[in-house]
Structures are given as C-alpha cells and as structure tokens.
C-alpha cells in the first residue's frame, strides 16, 4: 500500500540550522495495517506523516502509494489517496463555512471541482446520516458555521471529513492530544470505529504509549529521524508500556523522560 525507501528529509540544508528530520527511513505498510507511531519530541513522527502527505519535499529516497511513485507529486494531488486529521482542531475545518459545506468539500477530495452545485440534496441527506452516527447532535445543525463548534466537535467532524470519501491511507497526527481526556476518548473511539468499518490503512502518531499498544496492528518507535523499533504480531501483544520504555532506553541510549509523564493519563 505505502512504501518508503531510504527517505531522507533535511530541514534548512546547508545552513547552520541544518537538521536531518528523517534519515533513510524505509517502511513498508500493508493494506489494512493500522500502525501507531511513537517517539520523543523531534523524533520525526510528524515529519514522516508530512512527507507521506506531500507537505514537504524530500532530499532523497522514494515514496510509493498503491504502487505508484508519488515522490514528486504535490500535496493536493496525493490528497486523492490520503485523508488527514491534524493535531490542532482548528486546522482541519474551515471556520467561516458551515458544517455541510465543510463535508461537501471533503466529499470531493481528490476530484476536480467545476461549476456544479457545491451541495446536492442527496448529499445533504447523506451528511445527516453520517453526522447522526457521531452522536453529537450535529445532524440538526448542518447550516451552523464550524467556528461555533467546540474543539471536540470540530475534531470529530474532521475525522468524518477525512474518511467520508474513503481514503486509501489515513494519517492521524496526535489528533486527540489537544482535547480534554473525556473528549479525547470519544474522538478516539469514533476513529477506531471508522477505521474498522472501512478497513482503513492508517498511520497514527500518538504520545500515549498505552494507546499505541492497544490500538492497531503494529507499532513503530522513532528516534532522531530513524525507526528504532518495529513491533507487530504476538511480540507486540506481549509488550507492555514498561517494556516499551526499556526498549527505548536500550535502542537510543536515552531515557524516555519527556513522555513518561503522559503515561499516568488515560
């Protein structure tokens, strides 16, 4: 489904601030795999997602999506394959536009846009059904501007928008990190439901180690632009959070200090 081979990304190449965010990353993702990505701050987790989505160009390496070489394709072309949810709930929606307008734009992801009507009556009915499944009461507020919604509602809407035109690949970048614990759980449950329903191939960055092991089928750990651990199958199911921390210490020679605090959370 997704193949990265020897992908290297360097920020500010040739300057004093040069920083190699990804170093020859090779990763093969099978169709239907749900991969959680963990690692300390600056490990390159978000950069990895951005490189896959085409937000930033890479210095070397190759990216294949569904067998097609997309290394040089810009973000808006790759969007045809990819659904994304950002960490900041404000980034995934257009605040000045209504719920139905946002959904209508998401429904047309990767399709050329012409002078056809932006929303049809049939689509409106479909949006209402999808929104009802969220259980947030948004199905009766199609004409409400998104800016009036809470962060949790906006993020739930963004998850729906990322998946309403079924993507081949779903990228989640700590999409519950900015929400309060209760809302985060709701949005996470919704996300898992949608992933399971459509059998979506997913890359999910998370800071929550417990969630990383519990969700999905495979867990990779990143450190300083490299993948230092790749867990799946029975090996993964045996692993505990404490094991993860130990493995991180061994693999990186560091202590997972900055994320330890987060373990006490949900």
**Min separation Cβ 119 and another protein, Å:** 8
**Min separation Cβ 184 and another protein, Å:** 10
**Min separation Cβ 158 and another protein, Å:** 8
Q: Tell me how long the chain is.
A: 266
**Min separation Cβ 243 and another protein, Å:** 33
Report the residue number, 86 or 256, with the smaller CB distance to another protein. 86
- As given in the structure block, the two tokens for residue 12 are 């500010």
Place of tokens 């059904």: 129
DSSP secondary structure code for residue 208 in this structure: -
Chain contacts with another protein (rule: CB under 8 A): 53, 74-77, 79-80, 82, 84, 86, 90-97, 101, 104-106, 108-111, 113-118, 135-137, 145, 148-150, 152-153, 161, 182-183, 186
Instruction: Give the angle 146-152-157 at the CA atoms, nearest 5°.
Output: 50
Report the residue number, 70 or 231, with the smaller CB distance to another protein. 70
What's the rounded Cα separation, in Å, for the pair 221 and 45?
Answer: 9
**Min separation Cβ 121 and another protein, Å:** 14
Report the residue number, 202 or 252, with the smaller CB distance to another protein. 202
Query: Of 202, 235, 232, whose CA–CA distance to 219 is shortest?
Result: 232
**Min separation Cβ 228 and another protein, Å:** 29
Report the residue number, 149 or 212, with the smaller CB distance to another protein. 149
Query: Of 196, 194, 195, 239, whose CA–CA distance to 214 is shortest?
Result: 239
Report the residue number, 94 or 255, with the smaller CB distance to another protein. 94
- Angle of helix 121-134 versus helix 99-107 axis, rounded to 10: 110
Place of tokens 């809302």: 183
Query: Of 173, 186, 161, 188, whose CA–CA distance to 94 is shortest?
Result: 161
Is the Cβ–Cβ distance between 119 and 100 less than 8 Å?
A: yes
Report the residue number, 121 or 257, with the smaller CB distance to another protein. 121
What's the rounded Cα separation, in Å, for the pair 230 and 35?
Answer: 10
């Amino acid at each position: 489904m997704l193949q990265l081979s020897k992908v290297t990304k360097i920020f500010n190449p040739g300057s004093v601030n040069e920083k190699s965010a990804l170093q020859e990353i090779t990763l093969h993702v099978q169709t239907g795999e749900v991969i959680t990505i963990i690692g300390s701050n600056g490990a390159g987790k978000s950069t990895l997602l951005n490189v896959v989505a085409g937000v930033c160009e890479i210095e070397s390496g190759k990216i294949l999506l569904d067998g097609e070489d997309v290394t040089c394709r810009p973000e808006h072309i790759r969007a045809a394959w990819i659904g994304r949810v950002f960490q900041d709930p404000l980034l995934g929606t257009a605040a000045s536009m209504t719920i139905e307008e946002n959904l209508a734009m998401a429904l047309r992801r990767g399709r050329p846009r012409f002078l056809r009507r932006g929303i049809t009556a049939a689509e409106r009915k479909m949006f209402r059904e999808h929104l009802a499944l969220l259980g947030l009461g948004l199905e009766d507020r199609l004409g409400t501007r998104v800016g009036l919604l809470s962060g949790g509602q906006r993020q739930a809407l963004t998850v729906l928008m990322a998946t309403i035109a079924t993507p081949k690949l779903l990228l989640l970048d700590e999409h519950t990190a900015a929400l309060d614990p209760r809302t985060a759980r709701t949005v996470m449950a919704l996300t898992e439901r949608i992933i399971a329903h459509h059998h979506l191939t997913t890359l999910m960055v998370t800071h929550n180690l417990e969630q990383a092991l519990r969700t999905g089928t495979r867990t990779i750990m990143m450190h300083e632009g490299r993948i230092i651990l790749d867990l799946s199958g029975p090996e993964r199911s045996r692993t505990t959070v404490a094991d993860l921390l130990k493995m991180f210490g061994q693999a990186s020679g560091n202590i997972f200090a900055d994320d330890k605090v987060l373990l006490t959370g949900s």
